[in-house]
Structure 1
Protein backbone atom coordinates (compact mmCIF):
# COMPACT_ATOMS: atom_id res chain seq x y z
CA UNK A 1 0.00 0.00 0.00
CA UNK A 2 1.43 3.36 -1.01
CA UNK A 3 1.80 5.82 1.83
CA UNK A 4 0.54 8.97 0.14
CA UNK A 5 1.79 12.25 1.49
CA UNK A 6 -1.41 14.23 2.16
CA UNK A 7 -1.06 17.85 3.11
CA UNK A 8 -3.61 17.83 5.94
CA UNK A 9 -1.36 15.38 7.73
CA UNK A 10 1.43 17.95 7.61
CA UNK A 11 -0.92 20.87 8.23
CA UNK A 12 -2.33 19.56 11.49
CA UNK A 13 -0.83 17.57 14.33
CA UNK A 14 0.98 14.35 13.46
CA UNK A 15 -1.22 11.31 13.84
CA UNK A 16 -0.55 10.22 17.39
CA UNK A 17 -0.27 6.51 16.74
CA UNK A 18 2.77 4.67 18.00
CA UNK A 19 4.50 2.61 15.30
CA UNK A 20 6.60 -0.51 15.69
CA UNK A 21 10.19 0.11 14.61
CA UNK A 22 13.60 -1.52 14.37
CA UNK A 23 16.97 0.15 14.98
CA UNK A 24 19.06 0.48 11.82
CA UNK A 25 22.16 -0.60 13.73
CA UNK A 26 20.57 -4.04 14.23
CA UNK A 27 19.88 -4.51 10.50
CA UNK A 28 22.36 -6.02 8.05
CA UNK A 29 23.73 -3.64 5.41
CA UNK A 30 22.46 -6.13 2.83
CA UNK A 31 18.89 -5.16 3.74
CA UNK A 32 17.77 -2.17 1.60
CA UNK A 33 15.69 0.64 3.09
CA UNK A 34 12.57 2.01 1.43
CA UNK A 35 12.52 5.84 1.51
CA UNK A 36 9.17 7.57 2.05
CA UNK A 37 9.80 11.32 1.65
CA UNK A 38 7.37 14.24 1.57
CA UNK A 39 7.42 18.01 1.15
CA UNK A 40 4.39 20.32 1.62
CA UNK A 41 4.60 23.87 0.26
CA UNK A 42 2.04 25.99 2.11
CA UNK A 43 1.97 29.08 -0.10
CA UNK A 44 -0.65 30.92 1.94
CA UNK A 45 1.40 30.77 5.14
CA UNK A 46 4.78 30.86 3.36
CA UNK A 47 5.87 27.69 5.12
CA UNK A 48 7.48 24.42 4.06
CA UNK A 49 6.86 21.20 6.00
CA UNK A 50 8.97 18.12 5.40
CA UNK A 51 8.67 14.46 6.42
CA UNK A 52 10.76 11.32 6.01
CA UNK A 53 10.34 7.69 6.95
CA UNK A 54 12.23 4.48 6.25
CA UNK A 55 11.10 0.85 6.01
CA UNK A 56 12.83 -2.51 5.67
CA UNK A 57 12.82 -3.90 2.10
CA UNK A 58 9.72 -2.03 0.81
CA UNK A 59 6.78 0.21 1.72
CA UNK A 60 5.16 -2.58 3.75
CA UNK A 61 8.27 -3.28 5.81
CA UNK A 62 8.89 -2.48 9.46
CA UNK A 63 9.61 1.17 10.22
CA UNK A 64 13.24 1.98 10.90
CA UNK A 65 14.81 4.32 13.45
CA UNK A 66 18.11 5.53 12.04
CA UNK A 67 21.12 5.30 14.35
CA UNK A 68 24.76 4.31 14.25
CA UNK A 69 26.14 5.22 10.83
CA UNK A 70 22.63 5.66 9.36
CA UNK A 71 21.13 9.16 9.36
CA UNK A 72 18.93 11.62 7.47
CA UNK A 73 19.71 15.27 6.83
CA UNK A 74 17.21 17.76 5.42
CA UNK A 75 18.90 20.80 3.89
CA UNK A 76 21.90 19.93 6.01
CA UNK A 77 19.96 19.86 9.27
CA UNK A 78 18.96 16.99 11.53
CA UNK A 79 15.13 16.76 11.61
CA UNK A 80 12.95 16.18 14.64
CA UNK A 81 12.24 12.56 15.53
CA UNK A 82 9.10 11.01 17.00
CA UNK A 83 8.02 7.38 16.80
CA UNK A 84 4.43 8.31 15.88
CA UNK A 85 2.47 8.97 12.71
CA UNK A 86 3.40 8.35 9.08
CA UNK A 87 6.71 10.21 9.18
CA UNK A 88 9.15 9.59 12.03
CA UNK A 89 11.35 12.50 10.89
CA UNK A 90 9.90 16.01 10.46
CA UNK A 91 11.20 19.49 9.75
CA UNK A 92 9.55 22.84 8.96
CA UNK A 93 10.58 26.42 8.27
CA UNK A 94 9.37 29.73 6.85
CA UNK A 95 9.78 30.08 3.11
CA UNK A 96 9.28 27.86 0.05
CA UNK A 97 12.83 26.69 -0.55
CA UNK A 98 14.09 23.64 -2.41
CA UNK A 99 14.58 20.59 -0.21
CA UNK A 100 17.55 18.21 -0.29
CA UNK A 101 17.31 14.89 1.53
CA UNK A 102 20.63 13.16 2.20
CA UNK A 103 20.11 9.65 3.54
CA UNK A 104 23.24 7.97 4.84
CA UNK A 105 22.86 4.19 4.93
CA UNK A 106 26.43 3.44 5.97
CA UNK A 107 29.80 5.17 5.97
CA UNK A 108 30.32 4.72 2.23
CA UNK A 109 26.70 4.74 1.07
CA UNK A 110 24.58 7.91 0.72
CA UNK A 111 21.47 8.71 -1.32
CA UNK A 112 20.39 12.21 -2.32
CA UNK A 113 16.88 13.25 -3.36
CA UNK A 114 15.76 16.79 -4.14
CA UNK A 115 12.30 18.40 -4.25
CA UNK A 116 11.19 21.85 -5.42
CA UNK A 117 7.85 23.63 -5.59
CA UNK A 118 8.00 23.15 -9.38
CA UNK A 119 7.63 19.38 -8.88
CA UNK A 120 3.88 19.85 -8.37
CA UNK A 121 1.49 22.03 -10.34
CA UNK A 122 -0.14 24.95 -8.48
CA UNK A 123 -3.76 24.93 -7.42
CA UNK A 124 -5.92 27.80 -6.15
CA UNK A 125 -9.28 28.50 -4.56
CA UNK A 126 -11.30 30.96 -6.69
CA UNK A 127 -11.92 34.36 -5.11
CA UNK A 128 -15.64 33.80 -5.72
CA UNK A 129 -15.69 30.68 -3.53
CA UNK A 130 -16.65 32.05 -0.11
CA UNK A 131 -18.98 29.51 1.49
CA UNK A 132 -19.95 25.83 1.75
CA UNK A 133 -23.21 24.16 2.70
CA UNK A 134 -23.50 22.37 6.02
CA UNK A 135 -26.19 20.17 4.50
CA UNK A 136 -26.03 18.94 0.93
CA UNK A 137 -23.15 19.25 -1.51
CA UNK A 138 -20.99 22.20 -2.48
CA UNK A 139 -18.86 21.82 -5.61
CA UNK A 140 -15.50 23.57 -5.62
CA UNK A 141 -14.02 24.03 -9.10
CA UNK A 142 -10.40 25.02 -8.58
CA UNK A 143 -8.12 27.26 -10.58
CA UNK A 144 -5.35 25.23 -12.16
CA UNK A 145 -4.81 22.07 -14.15
CA UNK A 146 -7.01 18.99 -13.77
CA UNK A 147 -5.81 16.03 -11.74
CA UNK A 148 -2.93 14.29 -13.51
CA UNK A 149 -1.12 10.98 -13.24
CA UNK A 150 -0.12 10.07 -9.66
CA UNK A 151 -1.88 13.13 -8.23
CA UNK A 152 -4.51 13.64 -5.55
CA UNK A 153 -6.42 16.79 -4.64
CA UNK A 154 -7.68 17.31 -1.10
CA UNK A 155 -10.09 19.85 0.31
CA UNK A 156 -9.93 20.14 4.09
CA UNK A 157 -12.29 22.31 6.11
CA UNK A 158 -11.41 23.14 9.71
CA UNK A 159 -14.35 24.42 11.70
CA UNK A 160 -15.43 24.77 15.30
CA UNK A 161 -15.68 21.18 16.44
CA UNK A 162 -13.82 19.28 13.77
CA UNK A 163 -12.07 18.83 10.46
CA UNK A 164 -13.68 17.56 7.26
CA UNK A 165 -11.38 16.21 4.53
CA UNK A 166 -12.39 15.11 1.03
CA UNK A 167 -10.08 13.55 -1.58
CA UNK A 168 -10.27 13.33 -5.37
CA UNK A 169 -7.93 11.02 -7.32
CA UNK A 170 -9.92 10.98 -10.59
CA UNK A 171 -7.56 11.81 -13.43
CA UNK A 172 -8.91 14.70 -15.53
CA UNK A 173 -11.17 16.06 -12.79
CA UNK A 174 -11.24 19.83 -12.17
CA UNK A 175 -13.53 19.96 -9.14
CA UNK A 176 -14.21 18.40 -5.77
CA UNK A 177 -17.55 17.89 -3.99
CA UNK A 178 -17.65 19.01 -0.38
CA UNK A 179 -20.09 17.26 1.94
CA UNK A 180 -20.28 16.89 5.71
CA UNK A 181 -20.91 13.39 7.04
CA UNK A 182 -21.18 14.71 10.58
CA UNK A 183 -23.37 17.57 11.67
CA UNK A 184 -21.66 20.96 11.95
CA UNK A 185 -22.92 24.42 12.78
CA UNK A 186 -22.88 27.45 10.50
CA UNK A 187 -20.03 29.86 11.09
CA UNK A 188 -16.47 30.64 10.08
CA UNK A 189 -14.17 27.90 8.80
CA UNK A 190 -10.79 27.55 7.10
CA UNK A 191 -10.69 25.82 3.73
CA UNK A 192 -7.35 24.34 2.62
CA UNK A 193 -6.93 23.02 -0.91
CA UNK A 194 -3.96 20.84 -1.85
CA UNK A 195 -2.60 19.11 -4.90
CA UNK A 196 -0.13 16.30 -4.07
CA UNK A 197 2.09 14.61 -6.68
CA UNK A 198 3.75 11.26 -6.05
CA UNK A 199 7.20 11.40 -7.65
CA UNK A 200 9.81 8.62 -7.99
CA UNK A 201 13.07 8.84 -6.10
CA UNK A 202 16.19 10.10 -7.82
CA UNK A 203 18.40 7.77 -5.76
CA UNK A 204 17.22 4.53 -4.19
CA UNK A 205 18.85 2.19 -1.67
CA UNK A 206 19.19 -0.95 -3.77
CA UNK A 207 15.88 -2.32 -5.03
CA UNK A 208 13.86 -1.06 -2.04
CA UNK A 209 12.53 1.92 -4.01
CA UNK A 210 10.54 4.71 -2.47
CA UNK A 211 8.54 7.83 -3.25
CA UNK A 212 8.90 11.58 -2.95
CA UNK A 213 5.54 13.28 -2.50
CA UNK A 214 5.28 17.03 -3.10
CA UNK A 215 2.21 19.11 -2.15
CA UNK A 216 1.10 22.62 -3.08
CA UNK A 217 -1.33 24.16 -0.57
CA UNK A 218 -3.55 27.23 -0.54
CA UNK A 219 -6.06 28.18 2.16
CA UNK A 220 -8.65 30.86 2.91
CA UNK A 221 -11.41 31.64 5.37
CA UNK A 222 -14.95 30.75 4.28
CA UNK A 223 -18.38 30.50 5.89
CA UNK A 224 -20.42 27.38 6.54
CA UNK A 225 -24.07 27.99 5.76
Structure 2
Protein backbone atom coordinates (compact mmCIF):
# COMPACT_ATOMS: atom_id res chain seq x y z
CA UNK A 1 0.00 0.00 0.00
CA UNK A 2 2.84 2.41 0.83
CA UNK A 3 4.36 1.79 -2.60
CA UNK A 4 1.04 2.62 -4.25
CA UNK A 5 0.78 5.87 -2.29
CA UNK A 6 4.30 6.84 -3.31
CA UNK A 7 3.52 5.97 -6.91
CA UNK A 8 0.42 8.14 -7.08
CA UNK A 9 1.60 11.08 -4.94
CA UNK A 10 3.33 12.87 -7.88
CA UNK A 11 0.04 12.69 -9.79
CA UNK A 12 -1.74 14.31 -6.85
CA UNK A 13 0.89 17.05 -6.79
CA UNK A 14 0.50 17.73 -10.51
CA UNK A 15 -3.29 17.85 -10.17
CA UNK A 16 -3.15 20.28 -7.24
CA UNK A 17 -0.99 22.65 -9.33
CA UNK A 18 -3.06 22.32 -12.51
CA UNK A 19 -4.05 25.57 -14.24
CA UNK A 20 -6.43 26.50 -17.04
CA UNK A 21 -6.49 29.50 -19.38
CA UNK A 22 -9.57 31.70 -18.95
CA UNK A 23 -9.97 31.70 -22.75
CA UNK A 24 -10.67 27.96 -22.63
CA UNK A 25 -13.57 28.20 -20.16
CA UNK A 26 -17.21 28.68 -21.12
CA UNK A 27 -18.82 31.94 -20.02
CA UNK A 28 -21.15 30.18 -17.58
CA UNK A 29 -18.38 28.37 -15.68
CA UNK A 30 -18.34 29.83 -12.14
CA UNK A 31 -15.09 31.02 -10.58
CA UNK A 32 -14.32 30.44 -6.91
CA UNK A 33 -12.67 33.65 -5.68
CA UNK A 34 -9.92 33.83 -3.05
CA UNK A 35 -8.74 37.19 -1.75
CA UNK A 36 -6.12 38.23 0.81
CA UNK A 37 -5.58 41.64 2.39
CA UNK A 38 -2.79 42.14 4.92
CA UNK A 39 -2.57 45.38 6.89
CA UNK A 40 0.86 45.99 8.45
CA UNK A 41 0.73 48.76 11.05
CA UNK A 42 4.49 48.65 11.62
CA UNK A 43 5.27 49.57 8.00
CA UNK A 44 2.09 51.52 7.29
CA UNK A 45 1.43 49.44 4.19
CA UNK A 46 -1.01 46.92 2.74
CA UNK A 47 -0.43 43.80 0.65
CA UNK A 48 -3.24 42.19 -1.30
CA UNK A 49 -3.59 39.18 -3.56
CA UNK A 50 -6.26 37.33 -5.51
CA UNK A 51 -6.74 34.15 -7.48
CA UNK A 52 -9.56 32.04 -8.86
CA UNK A 53 -10.27 28.34 -9.16
CA UNK A 54 -12.83 26.64 -11.36
CA UNK A 55 -16.05 26.20 -9.32
CA UNK A 56 -14.51 25.34 -5.92
CA UNK A 57 -11.35 24.90 -3.87
CA UNK A 58 -10.48 21.67 -5.65
CA UNK A 59 -10.70 23.15 -9.14
CA UNK A 60 -7.87 24.24 -11.41
CA UNK A 61 -6.44 27.72 -10.92
CA UNK A 62 -7.37 30.22 -13.62
CA UNK A 63 -4.78 32.18 -15.61
CA UNK A 64 -6.45 35.25 -17.12
CA UNK A 65 -5.96 36.52 -20.67
CA UNK A 66 -7.57 38.77 -23.31
CA UNK A 67 -8.61 41.54 -20.92
CA UNK A 68 -9.99 39.23 -18.24
CA UNK A 69 -8.57 39.33 -14.71
CA UNK A 70 -8.39 41.35 -11.51
CA UNK A 71 -7.96 44.95 -10.53
CA UNK A 72 -7.67 46.33 -7.01
CA UNK A 73 -8.49 49.97 -6.35
CA UNK A 74 -8.49 50.42 -10.11
CA UNK A 75 -4.90 49.22 -10.58
CA UNK A 76 -3.60 46.22 -12.49
CA UNK A 77 -1.71 43.59 -10.46
CA UNK A 78 1.77 42.20 -10.61
CA UNK A 79 1.97 38.47 -11.24
CA UNK A 80 3.42 36.14 -8.64
CA UNK A 81 6.99 35.07 -9.41
CA UNK A 82 6.30 31.37 -8.85
CA UNK A 83 2.60 31.07 -9.72
CA UNK A 84 1.23 32.99 -12.70
CA UNK A 85 -2.34 32.43 -11.50
CA UNK A 86 -1.81 34.55 -8.36
CA UNK A 87 -2.13 38.33 -8.70
CA UNK A 88 -0.62 40.78 -6.19
CA UNK A 89 -0.71 44.45 -5.15
CA UNK A 90 1.15 46.63 -2.65
CA UNK A 91 -0.35 49.87 -1.31
CA UNK A 92 1.08 52.60 0.88
CA UNK A 93 -1.06 53.26 3.93
CA UNK A 94 -3.91 51.03 5.07
CA UNK A 95 -6.71 51.67 2.57
CA UNK A 96 -9.99 50.01 1.82
CA UNK A 97 -9.35 47.54 -1.02
CA UNK A 98 -11.92 47.22 -3.81
CA UNK A 99 -11.40 44.10 -5.93
CA UNK A 100 -12.95 43.84 -9.38
CA UNK A 101 -12.92 40.55 -11.29
CA UNK A 102 -13.66 40.77 -15.02
CA UNK A 103 -14.42 37.51 -16.82
CA UNK A 104 -13.78 36.91 -20.52
CA UNK A 105 -17.51 37.38 -21.15
CA UNK A 106 -17.24 40.93 -19.78
CA UNK A 107 -19.18 40.08 -16.61
CA UNK A 108 -17.77 41.84 -13.54
CA UNK A 109 -17.82 40.79 -9.88
CA UNK A 110 -16.89 43.21 -7.08
CA UNK A 111 -15.65 42.40 -3.57
CA UNK A 112 -14.35 44.68 -0.85
CA UNK A 113 -12.15 44.62 2.25
CA UNK A 114 -11.50 47.43 4.72
CA UNK A 115 -9.47 47.87 7.92
CA UNK A 116 -12.64 47.93 10.03
CA UNK A 117 -13.40 44.36 8.91
CA UNK A 118 -10.68 43.17 11.30
CA UNK A 119 -10.15 44.66 14.75
CA UNK A 120 -7.25 47.00 15.38
CA UNK A 121 -4.64 45.58 17.77
CA UNK A 122 -1.65 47.14 19.49
CA UNK A 123 0.89 46.49 22.20
CA UNK A 124 -0.39 47.58 25.60
CA UNK A 125 1.32 50.65 27.14
CA UNK A 126 2.74 48.34 29.83
CA UNK A 127 4.63 46.22 27.28
CA UNK A 128 8.25 46.07 28.52
CA UNK A 129 11.23 47.41 26.59
CA UNK A 130 13.48 45.01 28.51
CA UNK A 131 12.57 41.39 29.26
CA UNK A 132 14.25 39.25 31.92
CA UNK A 133 14.97 35.71 30.77
CA UNK A 134 15.00 34.52 34.38
CA UNK A 135 11.67 36.10 35.29
CA UNK A 136 9.72 35.79 32.03
CA UNK A 137 7.11 38.40 31.18
CA UNK A 138 3.42 39.00 30.66
CA UNK A 139 2.50 39.89 27.07
CA UNK A 140 -0.50 42.23 26.91
CA UNK A 141 -2.27 43.71 23.92
CA UNK A 142 -5.19 46.04 23.21
CA UNK A 143 -8.10 45.49 20.84
CA UNK A 144 -11.35 43.56 20.61
CA UNK A 145 -11.41 39.98 21.84
CA UNK A 146 -11.12 37.30 19.17
CA UNK A 147 -14.38 35.87 17.88
CA UNK A 148 -15.47 33.00 15.68
CA UNK A 149 -12.57 31.45 13.76
CA UNK A 150 -10.20 34.39 14.37
CA UNK A 151 -6.67 33.55 15.51
CA UNK A 152 -3.70 35.52 16.81
CA UNK A 153 -0.07 34.43 16.68
CA UNK A 154 2.70 35.96 18.82
CA UNK A 155 6.21 35.27 17.55
CA UNK A 156 9.38 36.21 19.43
CA UNK A 157 12.51 35.89 17.31
CA UNK A 158 16.21 36.34 18.00
CA UNK A 159 19.45 35.27 16.36
CA UNK A 160 19.37 32.10 18.47
CA UNK A 161 15.84 30.92 17.72
CA UNK A 162 12.12 31.58 17.63
CA UNK A 163 9.24 30.87 19.98
CA UNK A 164 5.56 31.15 19.12
CA UNK A 165 2.19 31.03 20.87
CA UNK A 166 -1.30 31.02 19.37
CA UNK A 167 -4.54 32.47 20.68
CA UNK A 168 -8.02 31.50 19.46
CA UNK A 169 -11.48 32.73 20.39
CA UNK A 170 -11.77 29.71 22.72
CA UNK A 171 -8.81 30.87 24.84
CA UNK A 172 -8.94 34.55 23.95
CA UNK A 173 -7.39 36.88 26.47
CA UNK A 174 -5.66 40.25 26.33
CA UNK A 175 -2.84 38.79 28.40
CA UNK A 176 -0.49 35.87 27.76
CA UNK A 177 2.43 34.72 29.90
CA UNK A 178 5.86 33.75 28.60
CA UNK A 179 7.67 31.91 31.38
CA UNK A 180 11.38 31.59 31.97
CA UNK A 181 11.14 28.08 30.51
CA UNK A 182 9.52 29.48 27.34
CA UNK A 183 12.47 31.85 26.87
CA UNK A 184 15.27 29.34 27.51
CA UNK A 185 16.16 28.77 23.84
CA UNK A 186 16.68 32.51 23.28
CA UNK A 187 20.05 34.11 24.00
CA UNK A 188 20.21 37.56 25.62
CA UNK A 189 20.15 40.37 23.09
CA UNK A 190 17.70 41.95 20.66
CA UNK A 191 14.23 40.44 20.24
CA UNK A 192 11.83 41.04 17.36
CA UNK A 193 8.22 40.54 18.42
CA UNK A 194 5.49 40.11 15.81
CA UNK A 195 1.77 39.82 16.49
CA UNK A 196 -0.51 38.68 13.67
CA UNK A 197 -4.31 38.61 13.80
CA UNK A 198 -6.08 36.54 11.10
CA UNK A 199 -9.74 36.49 10.14
CA UNK A 200 -11.79 34.95 7.32
CA UNK A 201 -14.81 36.84 6.00
CA UNK A 202 -17.37 35.80 3.37
CA UNK A 203 -17.40 37.22 -0.13
CA UNK A 204 -19.64 40.18 -0.87
CA UNK A 205 -20.46 38.66 -4.24
CA UNK A 206 -19.98 35.07 -5.38
CA UNK A 207 -19.85 33.93 -8.99
CA UNK A 208 -22.99 31.81 -9.19
CA UNK A 209 -22.86 28.87 -6.78
CA UNK A 210 -19.06 28.88 -6.48
CA UNK A 211 -17.01 29.09 -3.28
CA UNK A 212 -14.63 31.75 -1.99
CA UNK A 213 -13.33 33.75 0.96
CA UNK A 214 -11.61 37.01 1.90
CA UNK A 215 -8.68 36.43 4.26
CA UNK A 216 -7.71 39.40 6.40
CA UNK A 217 -4.53 39.94 8.40
CA UNK A 218 -3.43 42.70 10.78
CA UNK A 219 0.24 42.80 11.85
CA UNK A 220 2.10 44.78 14.51
CA UNK A 221 5.80 44.56 15.41
CA UNK A 222 8.07 45.76 18.20
CA UNK A 223 11.62 45.26 19.41
CA UNK A 224 12.75 44.52 22.96
CA UNK A 225 15.94 43.53 24.74
CA UNK A 226 16.31 40.17 26.48
CA UNK A 227 18.55 40.12 29.55
CA UNK A 228 19.80 37.15 31.52
What secondary structure is seen at the aligned counterpart in 2 of 1:68? Answer: coil
Task: Give the greater-gyration-radius structure (CA).
Answer: 2
Which residues of structure 2 form unaligned runs of 5+? 1-15
Give 1:169's aligned residue: 168
The whole-number CA distance in structure 2 between the counterparts of 1:187 and 1:153 is 25
Is residue 70–residue 105 contact of structure 1 (8 Å, CA) maintained in 2? yes
Structure-2 change in CA distance of 1:148 and 1:159 (3 Å): same
> What TM-score comes out, normalization by structure 2 length?
0.77
Is residue 162–residue 186 contact of structure 2 (8 Å, CA) maintained in 1? no
Which residues of structure 1 form unaligned runs of 5+? 1-17
> What TM-score comes out, normalization by structure 1 length?
0.77
Q: Mapping of 1:13-162 within 5 angstroms?
A: 19-82=17-80, 84=82, 88-130=86-128, 140-160=139-159
The whole-number CA distance in structure 1 between the counterparts of 2:206 and 2:134 is 47
Structure-2 change in CA distance of 1:192 and 1:34 (3 Å): same
1:83 shift after superposition: 5.4
Number of paired residues? Answer: 207
1:194 shift after superposition: 2.2
Give 1:203's aligned residue: 205
The whole-number CA distance in structure 2 between the counterparts of 1:105 and 1:164 is 44
What secondary structure is seen at the aligned counterpart in 1 of 2:191? Answer: strand
**Higher share in helix:** 2
Is residue 134–residue 183 contact of structure 1 (8 Å, CA) maintained in 2? no
